[in-house]
Amino acid sequence: MRYTQTTLKKLEGLFDELDYTIRYEKGNFQSGYCLVENRRIAVINKFFDTEARINCLLEILSTLEFDSENLSDASRELIQKWKKETE
């Protein structure tokens, strides 16, 4: 997976399909991000570059439980590509 602005936009779209809101804000995060589970919000350190933002979103994605059947084809392809690379 390439660490580009386009990849970041695809991941943000995937989170939108999962009904998660992504916010980039200043904060004191130990891991670089914070998940507000009951409100389905992911807050990521706004000072991170594109690569760090993508890594945070992928780390969050690995902790979420979701049904990939409800996602668009493009999102499913993105997830499959990411899983293939992590194996």
> Domain range spanning residue 64?
5-86
Domain count, the chain: 1
Cβ 74 vs Cβ 10: under 8 Å: yes
Q: Give 38's contacts (C-beta < 8 A, 6+ positions apart).
A: none
- Find the CATH number of the domain harbouring 76: 3.30.2010
Instruction: Report the pLDDT averaged over residues 25-29.
Output: 81
Global pTM reads: 0.88
Which residue type is seen at 44? Answer: I
CA 50-43-21 angle, to 5 degrees, is 95
Q: Rounded to an integer, what is the distance from CA 51 to the centroid of its chain?
A: 12
In this model, does residue 4 exceed pLDDT 90? Answer: yes
The answer on pLDDT for 43 being more than 90 is: yes
